[in-house]
Chain A
Amino acid sequence: MANEAVGQERPKVSPLNDPAIRGYVFQALLLAVLVLLIIGATINTSENMRTRGIPTDFRFWNNVAGFDIDDTLIPYSALDTYGRAFWVGLLNTLLVSAVGIVLATFLGFVLGVARLSRNLVINKLAMAYVEVIRNTPLLLQLLFWYNAMLKPLPEPRQSIAWPGGIFLNNRGIIFPNPQYGPQAGWVVMMFFVGAAAAILYATWAHRRQIRTGEQAPVVLVSLGLIIGLPVVAFFVLGQPISLSFPMLKGFNFVGGLRVRPERVALVLGLVIYTAAFIAEIVRAGIMAVSRGQSEAAHALGLRAGPTLNLVVIPQALRVIIPPLTSQYLNLTKNSSLAVFVGYPDLVQVFAGTVLNQTGAAVQVMAITMLVYLTISLVTSALMNWYNARKALVER
């Protein structure tokens, strides 16, 4: 009897209980509430902004900023506009993030490998580093580096001298400054030519190896091209690049390239903090490659080096890259802690000084957040592309 009902037309359901209709109603309600909230907030905001005399447009962008910025990559003075101050801040953020990412990756890989070392001292040292750094706030570390380490450094006349003409004092780190002569451009160009040639050569060598099985000394030739060409150009053109070493003149140094303590503290803090997380990612990635893989490689006769390069690392990278991407994004976002040590990054300059001076909270915050969103999306798009290339090709 009951079987007859099966396969017949569906029983009539009250529209109150139909999931599809319920879904539409719920979404319509949600949307209505949201729209109401947005309308309310907009009305309130424009009302509030009017009564407080806050600008509601972007005209402030071209007004004279009137404040100085210590550390700029592009020429900037107090007479420039807010718009230019924005670019100064953005470039500083990008600089610190890029430098931080490169250094943190390097340190993180070293630490991650050290963490897997069979040498107990190295292993435990790396573990202590990772645990201490990961379990204390980044802000605390930044303040420690800046206030407790860099600020109490001696004044310029008692600078700590490091080998290679590097000096350390409470005004920052002073490096020898490269001076570019009139023909220096050729040397730089030869570097890029060398790099391009190396890539071409590596591609050719790879194709040939796949076709014929013959191997070519790719690393040696590439190094020769990338380093050799600029060096040859350097000497042929009569040494157009020279280093100007910092000299103590009176109370300060002249002739060097000075990196302010704020930037040093920020990069140092970000690198040390992020490297601890990268170390754990690298460790997990290498451990994810089963022992059988390296045993099989050894059984095929591969030595330790090629085993690592050809078997373990390519597989570990697949596990490492996705979380590594989010660490890069974290580092970029964490660079906004610059505001605590007074480094003029995007947040400090734009969402701090510019916002306070113009009062244009909504516009300034919207621009700042859009910039970070764009950086995040572009970085993850790039890393996704790289990840897709490295990902396991399955059937």
Chain B
Amino acid sequence: MAQAPATEPSAPLVYVRDTPTETLPPPVYARGALAWFRENFFSDILSSVLTVAAIAFLVWVLPGLVRFLFLDAVWSAKDGGPCRVVGAGACWAFIAQKWQYFMYASYPIDERWRVDTTLIVGALLVVWLLWPGLPRKGLGGLLFFIAYPIFGCILLVGWPAIGLPFADTSLWGGVFVTLLIATVGIVFSLPAGVLLALGRRSRMPIVKFLSVVFIEFVRGVPFITVLFMANTMLPLFVPPYLTPDRLLRPLIGVALFSAAYMAEEVRGGLQAIPKGQYEGAMAVGLNYWRMMRLIILPQALTLVIPGIVNNFIGLFKDTTLVAIVGIFDFLAAVEAQSHDPVWNGPSVLTTGYIFAAAFYFVFCFGMSRYSLYMERKLAAGKKR
């Protein structure tokens, strides 16, 4: 390339600016509330259309919802009359009147303190186990997984020898049975799931084969069929004098079902533990069970806490299905009471469903938040 011809130094270039211009203020739509608004709601044509459509949808739905839930709702009533009026909203009076039934169903009124005690003790133990700051988790676990089931069983079923009359399981129902089924599932499924997961990774072919067959079989069939099977086939498998109680049968079904799902969760954790951990444990001379108990499982289980909690959420939702074998869980109690001729009416049923949904939502959402919190807490040590 040729050199550009030299210009006369005495003649300055008039078209070259030698002082910087004033900086302009940033465009009004790039900062502040307006920009935030634009960025989040109207960043392009599609986004604007969607925003308008979504707001239109909300305007269409929300006022009706608020009116149904609060403004037109019937807050107090002696029977379903005010709720049957055309245009009446949610029938909260129905919930207020029936909440005791939703809680205990037909459990003898004088004995309901037993249910309350069991629930409170259980809640305390759960808090002990889940609250990261509390000490002596080992003792808490021992109490929750071994002592509590025995304690709860004695208290709920009754033991005439110590002055607790029997409470027939056909009277049990409501929230308390829902929590009972969930607790049994959780208490049983965690240890059984760990054993099955260990079995699936075992080097003993028969143990491995049996674990795989059990896990895959249970995971391959719907929960309802497991319940059906527990209900119709368990009584056939045992001699007539051993026929399990009608509440016990679905509990066995729940326990087996959740154990298989838990096993897969735990197996995921076991597989994530590097081989060096196993080798290190063996090198210091630990035998299989000590290696698992002291080195592998604590790490593996912590890794899969979110998955385990997700399983519990699924289990909690699945407890509703026991209604198919005639167990009166919370949802079944709500459903049955909304057909009560005194209250019967379209808004009563809807109210019952909304109430039930809120109940399940609180529990499941709480569990999922807890799992997120634990996940973040456990990941904190790994973040750089």
The answer to whether B224 and A337 have CB atoms under 8 Å apart is yes
* B353→A351 contact, CB < 8 A: no
Is B237 interfacial (CB-CB < 8 Å)? yes
Complex-state Cα separation, A120 to B317, whole angstroms: 30
Contact yes or no, A135 B40, CB < 8 A: no
User: A373 to B220, Cβ gap below 8 A?
Assistant: yes
Q: Smallest Cβ distance from B248 to chain A, in angstroms?
A: 17
- Residue of A whose beta carbon sits closest to that of B243: A48
B225 touching A336, Cβ below 8 Å: yes
Partner of B233, one of A138, A144, A365, A377: A365
B4 at the interface (CB under 8 A from A): no
Mark the stretch among A27-35, A160-168, A218-226, A282-290 that contacts chain B.
A27-35
Given A351-B228, A362-B233 in contact, is the A136-B317 Cβ separation under 8 Å?
yes
**Cross-chain contact of A121 among B41, B233, B238 (Cβ < 8 A):** B41
Q: By the criterion CB–CB under 8 Å, are B320 and A137 in contact?
A: yes
Out of B232, B313, B324, which one reaches A361, CB within 8 Å?
B232
Residue in A closest to B205 when the chains form the complex, CB atoms: A27
Question: Inside 8 A of A117's CB, which chain B residues have their CB?
Answer: 47, 50
A292 at the interface (CB under 8 A from B): no
Chain B residues, Cβ within 8 Å of A152: 346
**Complex formed: what's the CA distance from A368 to B207 in Å?**
27
CB of B383 closer than 8 Å to a CB of A: no
- Identify the closest chain B residue to A352 (Cβ): B228
From A131, A136, A347, contact of B225 by CB (8 A): A347
- Are B41's CB and A368's CB within 8 A? no
Q: Mark A168-205, 1 if CB is under 8 A from B, else 0.
A: 00000000000000000000000000000000000000
Return chain B residues, CB-CB under 8 Å to A132.
357, 361
Contacts of A373 in B (CB 8 A): 217, 220-221
Give residues 196-223 of B contacting A (CB, 8 Å). Answer: 203-207, 210, 217, 219-223
Q: Which of A122, A333, A365 contacts B50 (CB 8 A)?
A: A122
Contact, CB under 8 Å: A372 / B221: yes
Q: Which residues of chain A from 367 to 395 have a CB within 8 Å of any chain B CB?
A: 368-369, 372-373, 376-377
B356 (CB) vs chain A CBs: closest residue: A140
Which residue of B is nearest A326, CB measured?
Answer: B219
Once bound together, how far apart are the Cα atoms of A117 and B368, in whole Å? 23
Which residue of the partner chain B has the closest CB to A135?
Answer: B364
Q: Describe B's contact surface by its main secondary structure.
A: helix
Q: Are the CB atoms of B225 and A368 closer together than 8 Å?
A: yes
With the chains together, A31 CA to B355 CA distance in Å?
49
On whether A143 and B229 interact (CB within 8 A), knowing A336-B224, A347-B222, A373-B217, the answer reads no
Is B350 interfacial (CB-CB < 8 Å)?
Answer: yes
Residues of B within 8 A of A27 (CB): 204-207
**B72 touches A (CB below 8 Å):** no
Q: Is the CB of B39 within 8 A of A118?
A: yes
Check A44–B357 contact: CB distance below 8 A.
no
Q: Are A139 and B236 touching (Cβ within 8 A)? A: no
| Chain B contacts for A31, CB-based, 8 A | 206
- Could you tell me the dominant secondary structure of chain A's interface residues? helix
Asked whether, in the complex, the Cβ of B50 is within 8 Å of the Cβ of A361, the reply is: no
Q: Which residues of A contact B313 (CB under 8 A)?
A: 135
| Contact of A49 with B236 at beta-carbon distance under 8 Å, contacts A121-B55, A139-B320, A340-B324 already known | yes
Write the nearest CB–CB distance from B290 to chain A, whole angstroms: 14
Q: Which of B237, B335, B357 has the largest count of A CB atoms less than 10 A from its CB?
A: B237
**Cα distance, A30 to B204, chains bound together (Å):** 11
B176 CB to nearest A CB, Å: 17
Task: Judge whether A148 is part of the interface by a CB distance below 8 angstroms.
Answer: yes
A-chain residues with CB within 8 Å of residue B349 when the two chains form the complex? 147-148
Q: Does B235 contact A (CB under 8 A)?
A: yes
A122–B217 contact, CB under 8 A?
A: no
Task: Choose one: A41, A147, A339, A372; the contact of B324 (CB below 8 Å).
Answer: A339
Q: Which residues of B contact A209 (CB under 8 A)?
A: none
Residues of B within 8 A of A49 (CB): 236
A125 lies within 8 A of chain B by Cβ: yes
- Chain A neighbourhood of B206, CB < 8 A: 27, 30-31
Q: Is the Cβ of A135 less than 8 Å from the Cβ of B50?
A: no
- Do residues B364 and A119 form an inter-chain contact, with CB atoms below 8 A? no
Q: Are B331 and A139 in contact (CB under 8 A)?
A: yes
Determine whether the beta carbon of B360 is less than 8 Å from that of A140.
Answer: yes
Q: Is B99 an interface residue (CB 8 A)?
A: no
Q: How far is the CB of A226 from chain B (nearest CB, A)?
A: 27
Contacts A27-B204, A340-B324; A119 near B238 (Cβ below 8 A): no
CB distance from B37 to the nearest CB of A (A): 9
A23 part of interface (Cβ distance < 8 Å): yes
Q: Within 8 Å CB of A334, what residues of B? A: 222
Segment 325-381 of A: residues with Cβ below 8 Å from B? 333-334, 336-337, 339-340, 347, 351, 355, 361-362, 365, 368-369, 372-373, 376-377
The 8 A CB mask of A115-129 against B (1 = contact, 0 = none) is 001111110010000
**A44 adjacent to B361 (CB under 8 Å):** no
Residue of B nearest to A124 (CB): B54
Q: Is the CB of B321 within 8 A of A337?
A: yes
B375 CB–A CB distance under 8 Å:
no
Shortest A164–chain B CB gap in Å is 21
Q: In the complex the two chains form, is B353's CB within 8 Å of A140's CB?
A: yes
Contact (Cβ within 8 A) A44 B238: yes
Chain B contacts of A337 at CB under 8 A? 224, 321
For A138, the closest partner residue in chain B by CB is: B317
Q: How far is the CB of B285 from chain A (nearest CB, A)?
A: 13
Given known contacts A139-B320, A373-B221, what 5 new A-B pairs fall within 8 Å (CB)? A44-B239, A135-B361, A135-B364, A136-B357, A137-B331
* Nearest 8 interchain pairs by C-beta: A135-B364, A333-B222, A137-B317, A376-B220, A336-B222, A361-B232, A41-B237, A27-B206
